[in-house]
A and B are shown apart, each in its own frame.
Chain A
Amino acid sequence: MTSPALSTSSSSSDNGSAIAELLQETFALTRRLFLQLQRRPSTLVAGVLQPLIWLVLFGALFSRAPEGLLPGGMSYGRFLGAGVIVFTAFSAALNAGLPVMFDREFGFLNRLLVAPLRSRSSIVLASVIYITTLSLVQSLAIMLTASLLGYGWPGAAGLLLVMVTLLLLGFAVTALSLGLAFALPGHIELIAVIFVANLPLLFASTALAPLSFMPPWLGWLAALNPLTFAIEPIRAAYAGPLDLSSVLLEAPYGSVTGTTCLLVLSLLTAALFLLIRPLLNRKLA
């Protein structure tokens, strides 16, 4: 062992710029999450398998729905595809808080907090990078499978819209989940909230059925549900040439265009990050 330098550690902070340090710590924390995923891939597999089962079973269930029932004479499988893609990304992002919660509970977070991190947002940032990548990979896997099942594939511009939409929804839900991971007392409570939130949000959206099928009260819920604002642009991207200014949804409160959808998702993301910021600042102070 070399003698411990009395003038602090020899090759650390002083010469390195703040940004380089921030990148180094964020990269190291992100790498840890991906190493975990690589050695315990069940999260990844289950995250693809579940929506796949939805797609196949639900698609089959309504495959004999009368022609012309859905807007634009779309087949049910095609209709459902957009819903399942969004559901995949949504579920993945909803789980973002779990690793953080386990780190809190098992004291690993304390190990991170004892270190002279340049900014403790690197802990949050690593989670966001990890979960965003994971959810995009899972969504792409679902999209590929759906196209193999004959449910189509969006064009290049459409694909871009799909990715942007999923990213926006993913950020918003990740923020929510990370907030919960710091607000709730333990993983049991967090899993309970995830469990309760997951399916009802799916049912009360336009993932499984169009707004016109729903009784007015449910229609209102679905038209306010953030998932709907992600599903409709993706459905449109699958349906044909991209036009963000066209009306995608006849909501009880008025017509909603593609631009409105993206705007709502952006505002939601911004609002949620602002909302959880004081909490994270307090918990990581």
Chain B
Amino acid sequence: MSLLELDQLEKSYGAVSALNGLSLSVPSGCLYGLLGPNGAGKTTALRILATLLAPDRGRVVVAGVDALQEPRTVRQLMGYVAQEVAIDKILTGRELLALQGDLYHLQRQHRNRRIDQLVDRMSMGDWIDRRCGTYSGGMRRRLDLASGLLHQPQLLVLDEPTVGLDIESRAVIWEVLRDLRDQGTTILLSSHYLEEVEALADRMAIIDAGQVIAEGAPEALKQQLGGDRVTLRVREFSDQPEAERVRQLLEVVDGVRRIVINRAQGYSLNLVVDGEHVLATLKQRLAVENLDVFSLSQSRPSLDDVYLQATGRTLMDAELAVAGQRDPKQERRQSMR
């Protein structure tokens, strides 16, 4: 049974459309990853889900409740941890949590007990009574996760929970998320880190240009893709003509599906092959032509390959493509009331 349904969400900011009919279904008790490059529409989708933003079209249903018609009920069901942590620097972490507890109308005793539990669970004891202004990024993130969990929501929504974090804070957050999932909380998190989605998510959706373009369990997505990935170098630094020649030579080998020349890595060749057995044939073929093998490595398809297959570009390229186009000022205005 799905706890969360996003149905055909559309949203534009002026002429720029952020969501183009995004649909998503998150099963109950699932840790669900939303993978996509910056600017794909992840944050917009989550802000709509958090009732901070109204979609132009579409429906949001959480635990059978329509978020657009009964936003207050949905807010009560959900914990939302935004990407940019808004924090009151003058308050201590504990005071901020207490404020949060009062906004969710927890009874005082229960509230304080929950705060103690979370402080303990996230190892915040050493600094929770210091002012938030003195916290590092990792501390703030942990505090923010704690404030999202204070009222024990059924659904926890996190926007890029570990972006720019130190390893220790990231480990703490991952562990807490896994525990929560094991205890039955449904979690939806967005990320542009492949390894984060790979390490955490039971199911995932790849988002590009405001749409879901692939959906499923990470393992299943990789298996569907099929084939092995091979990286081949005939010399440490080859050149274009040589790479072209090798490509033409190997393209015709039985079991080779596709060959791409990777200029950025000294004209190495990236191959997609049907299985391990093809490697022997490749080596034979090269030996016949008197070509050496400087290096040959083979791997199972990764999520990056899934992304590449779905969008026609690597996640890294997609990030680079939008890197120069973002306007932080514009984005802040959009998030301001």
Contact = CB atoms under 8 A, between A and B. Distances in A.
- The residue among B77, B102, B154 with the most chain A CB atoms within 10 A of its own CB is B102
B336 A104 contact: yes
Contact of B151 (A9, A39, A105): A9
Interface residue range, chain B: 35 or more
Contact of A9 (B82, B98, B153, B183): B153
Given A1-B117, A104-B337, A107-B335, A27 B82 contact: no
Contacts of A111: 82, 86, 100
A25 B105 contact: yes
B95 interface: yes
A284 B51 CA distance: 11
Contacts of A104: 336-337
B72 interface: yes
A198 to B, nearest CB: 25
B76 A8 contact: yes
Contact of A3 (B82, B86, B87, B184): B184
B50 A114 contact: yes
A4 to B, nearest CB: 4
Interface string A12-25: 11001000010011
A39 B131 CA distance: 11
A284 to B, nearest CB: 7
Contact of A11 (B75, B102, B106, B176): B106
Nearest to B85: A107
A1 B121 contact: yes
A1 B118 contact: yes
B103 interface: yes
B107 A113 contact: no
Interface string B124-168: 000000010000000000000000010111100000000000000
A2 B98 contact: no
A11 B117 contact: no
B259 interface: no
B110 interface: yes
Contacts of B51: 113-114
Contact of B154 (A4, A24, A28, A35): A4
A112 B332 CA distance: 17
Contact of B80 (A5, A109, A114): A114
- The residue among B50, B87, B152, B184 with the most chain A CB atoms within 10 A of its own CB is B152
A118 B73 CA distance: 10
Interface residues of A, number: 44
B52 interface: yes
B322 interface: no
A1 to B, nearest CB: 5
Contact of A116 (B75, B82, B121, B183): B75
B52 A25 contact: no
Given A114-B51, A115-B104, A8 B183 contact: no
Contacts of A21: 105
A114 B337 contact: no
A24 B105 CA distance: 7
A277 interface: no
B185 interface: yes
B251 interface: no
Given A1-B121, A9-B151, A27-B102, A36 B88 contact: yes
A40 interface: yes
A114 B52 contact: yes
Contacts of B104: 9, 12, 115-116
Nearest to B131: A39
Contacts of A182: 337
B105 to A, nearest CB: 5
A113 B337 contact: yes
B179 interface: yes
Nearest to A12: B105
B289 interface: no
- The residue among A39, A182, A283 with the most chain B CB atoms within 10 A of its own CB is A39
Contacts of B103: 25, 28-29, 112, 115-117
Nearest to B86: A107
Interface string A49-86: 00000000000000000000000000000000000000
A148 interface: no
Contacts of B179: 1
B317 to A, nearest CB: 30
B295 to A, nearest CB: 47
Contacts of A27: 102
B52 A110 contact: yes
Given A1-B118, A40-B90, A12 B106 contact: yes
A106 interface: yes
Contacts of B131: 39
Interface string A231-266: 000000000000000000000000000000000000
Given A1-B121, A112-B103, A10 B337 contact: no
Contacts of A116: 72-73, 75-76, 103-105
B262 to A, nearest CB: 41
A35 to B, nearest CB: 6
12 contacts: A1-B118, A3-B183, A9-B153, A16-B107, A27-B102, A32-B88, A32-B91, A111-B86, A114-B80, A114-B82, A116-B75, A283-B337
10 nearest CB pairs, A to B: A28-B102, A107-B86, A115-B103, A116-B75, A116-B76, A3-B183, A108-B86, A9-B151, A11-B110, A4-B185
Interface of B: 50-52, 72-73, 75-77, 80, 82, 84, 86-88, 90-91, 95, 98-100, 102-107, 110, 117-118, 121, 131, 149, 151-154, 176, 179-180, 183-185, 332-333, 335-337
